[in-house]
Structure 1
Amino acid sequence: MSTSDRELRIGMVGYAFMGAAHSQAWRTVNRVFDLPLRVRMAAVCGRDQEKVAEAAARLGWDEHVTDWRELIARDDIDVIDVCTPGDSHAEIAIAALAAGKHVLCEKPLANTVAEARAMVAAAEAARAQGVRTICGFNYRRVPAVTLMRQMVEAGRLGTIRHVRAAYLQDWIIDPQFPLVWRLQRERAGSGALGDIGAHIIDLTQFVTGQQVTGVSAVTETFITERPLPGEASGLAGTSTGGALGKVTVDDAAIFTARLSGGAIATYEASRFATGRKNALRVEINGSRGSLVFDLERLNELEFYDGDRPAAEQGFNRILVTEPEHPYLSAWWPPGHIIGYEHSFTHQMRDFVQAIADGTDPAPSFTDALGVQLVLDAVQRSADAGSSWTPVEPLGA
């Protein structure tokens, strides 16, 4: 069998929002990129027989099962893709690694630092057997973000001094929105902090090459009780209309931080920013220039080049659609934009290529543990009244 005929057989656990995004990427990756392995969407897993059967047919999976342990035990599965709530990440990923499966796990890596460390240990043990792991911080794979990192690495901004990052949504501003799993600490670990704050922590560390070393934080839960979800449907936006349950996560988190290279930073994550649907923005200021990325204009970067003559200075738009830009040679002619879903396709592309090459993809579980340690420090700081809180070192 030639290399191009080799299959990489995927088993995915979970089929909701992230499962749909991952499925689209698995369907697309070999149709766009020339890869040494051909992806086969072998089986998807979900607890509800009827719903997972419908999802398998709709999303393009060959088969469906209702027990993730069955999926892991199968000899015809090479990769386990974990798209479940955070409370099951560690158990599923560790079991999959022990069974010799490559693992892609959605972010944040786990609900606690202890779980994340256990996952890192399992990944390191499996790595010795040629098993690869990656955490799904998909925004790294937006071409403009990767270009941003390349420009920082090349010294175009000089010494990094300021980092500003915000991720704002408004999908739970209605007090009648039900108590879904993302609003329960035992399922989600945290609220806006872990759900969307994890993304901007990872992005700023990725782009700058610096690690967050300490934080001072405040969190807030604006609506402390919500209607229990309707048992009949279990769908977001559906409630019983009567009984209430306690919200046990944050609705918003804001913190200042210091980075390992000397930069100072501010972070804001909120699901109560009325009018903001999925607004992620990162600005990096350096001694020679500045860069700005805005997810609502994801094919662009704003670049201020301080080395240009005074008469020519100002923020300039870089349209990130050229074949020379990261990932884009596989897509459309210059000027033809791509979207949110492409970041997942790029993620699968890099993961498949790393498995084929026997190299370590990024972000690793260790990288994701680094984000988890920041989340933990933010929570501890907020619990202690915004006190300055060092981030626990990775090797501790």
Structure 2
Amino acid sequence: MTLRVAMIGYGFMGAAHSVGWRQAPHVFSLPEDVEMTVVVGRNDQAVAAAAAQWGWKASATDWREVIERSDIDIVDVVTPGDSHAEIAIAALEAGKHVLCEKPLANSVEEAEAMLAAAERAAERGARAMVGFTYRRVPAVTFLRDLIASGKVGQVQQVRAAYQQDWLVDPQLPLGWRLQKEHAGSGALGDIGAHIVDMTQFVTGLQVEAVSGIIETIVKQRPVLGERVGFTGVAGGKLGDVTVDDLALFTGRLSNGALVSFEATRFATGRKNALSIEVSGDKGALRFDLEDLNTLQFYDRTAPERLQGFTKILVTEGAHPYVSAWWPAGHMLGYEHGFSHQVVDLVTAIAERTDLHSTFAEGLSVQRVLSAVEESSAHDSAWVRVAAAVSVVA
């Protein structure tokens, strides 16, 4: 059997997903064949060029027609957040498997509707996955496994940060990621979603309450299309930035432990710095995306003279996903997580097994993000995530 894929949207994430769809069948022994059937975009010339460059058989401009086609089995949604719910729900109702980029939606209500559609579709055998790709970095999956095996003992504290600097220049134009009607939120949803999901994934614990603040540092930017060169702007037309640039919040996990979160696009000098450190009563583990083939492990149970953080090189065949790739010490990169995402999805479809980063997990992250916005609107008061609108006295 061949699973035929339609990708809705293109651009940065479209390129990354295309690498995954193209590489995975040639590197891993997948239980089903995969065909990159069609990529969909609004601009017929641009999407045709993307199809040719990335290896898709064809291109199209009407996603509604594509998801109704009988020759499509999987719909991969890489559009801005304002269309996730409409496309994913329609695809699920058409009986397609769905992979949807994160964050799942632009609101809790949309995410709830998407989960309901996924649950109905699951009764007919369809699978739905959220693209939390960093879960599938081998070092992150291995970190999760080590915590589950008890290596750090009782989780007592977590520190998670995602720091970028691509918005520091105030002349960077106003794109869709800076407009709430398209993106839902700014740094909070775009990169904060990753660290919330990673915290819950590696610890096995849920964020149950939050206290935080969000801030828009540059409140107006040149309107997209008015730019000349990289920083010059014709006419000086400005538009309002309607999302956050920075989110700082504290969370309480389901075991009572505290976690600190930072999501920022204004960390000057930080290009894509995602890090997480989990501290327990028996040890600690740290991951840094800028050194993504390694983990730092502290074993508090070791003899005193041997204690200290040690580096684990996560490139052995015994580590998650690694055996299909290169000999030990030959490094993997950012793009490999997208191949692993394809492996997990195709395997779950073919073998009718459970998958992870489900729409339910995507909804749980959406509820945390909503609670952070609610907290910020109420002077950083603690907000229970389950209610997402209930301010804790």
Match 1:129 to one of 114, 124, 127: 124
Q: TM-score under structure 1 normalisation?
A: 0.96
1:368 aligns with 2:362: yes
Cα distance change, pair 261–239 in 1 and its aligned pair in 2 (3 A): farther
Q: Which runs of 4 or more aligned residues in structure 1 lie more than 3 Å from their structure 2 counterparts after TM superposition?
A: 235-241
Task: Map Cα deviations across residues 43-65 of structure 1 (whole Å, 9 max, x no partner).
Answer: 00000011001101001100000
Partner residue in 1 for 2:81: 86
Task: Map Cα deviations across residues 67-92 of structure 1 (whole Å, 9 max, x no partner).
Answer: 11011111100000000000000000
Task: Map Cα deviations across residues 122-152 of structure 1 (whole Å, 9 max, x no partner).
Answer: 0000000000000000000000000000000
- Map 1:1-396 to 2 at 5 A: 6-230=1-225, 240-392=234-386
Task: Map Cα deviations across residues 184-213 of structure 1 (whole Å, 9 max, x no partner).
Answer: 000000000000000000000000000000
Whether the aligned pair in 2 keeps the contact of 1:230 and 1:238 (CA below 8 Å) is no
C-alpha deviation, 1:231, in angstroms: 6.5
C-alpha deviation, 1:232, in angstroms: 9.4
Whether the aligned pair in 2 keeps the contact of 1:180 and 1:236 (CA below 8 Å) is no
Letter in 1 for 2:34: V
Whether the aligned pair in 2 keeps the contact of 1:229 and 1:236 (CA below 8 Å) is no
Structure 2 runs not aligned, ≥5 long: none
Whether the aligned pair in 1 keeps the contact of 2:121 and 2:127 (CA below 8 Å) is yes
Cα distance change, pair 333–365 in 1 and its aligned pair in 2 (3 A): same
Whether the aligned pair in 1 keeps the contact of 2:227 and 2:234 (CA below 8 Å) is no
C-alpha deviation, 1:238, in angstroms: 8.1
Letter in 1 for 2:4: R
Letter in 2 for 1:134: M
Q: Distance in 2 between matches of 1:124 and 1:236?
A: 46
Partner residue in 2 for 1:3: none
Letter in 2 for 1:183: L
Whether the aligned pair in 1 keeps the contact of 2:173 and 2:227 (CA below 8 Å) is no
Task: Map Cα deviations across residues 11-45 of structure 1 (whole Å, 9 max, x no partner).
Answer: 00011000000001100011110011111000000
Whether the aligned pair in 1 keeps the contact of 2:226 and 2:237 (CA below 8 Å) is no
Letter in 2 for 1:295: L
Cα distance change, pair 271–386 in 1 and its aligned pair in 2 (3 A): same
C-alpha deviation, 1:360, in angstroms: 2.6
Q: Distance in 1 between matches of 2:27 and 2:91?
A: 28
Letter in 2 for 1:369: L
Letter in 1 for 2:373: Q
Secondary structure of 1:242's aligned partner: coil
Aligned pairs, how many?
389
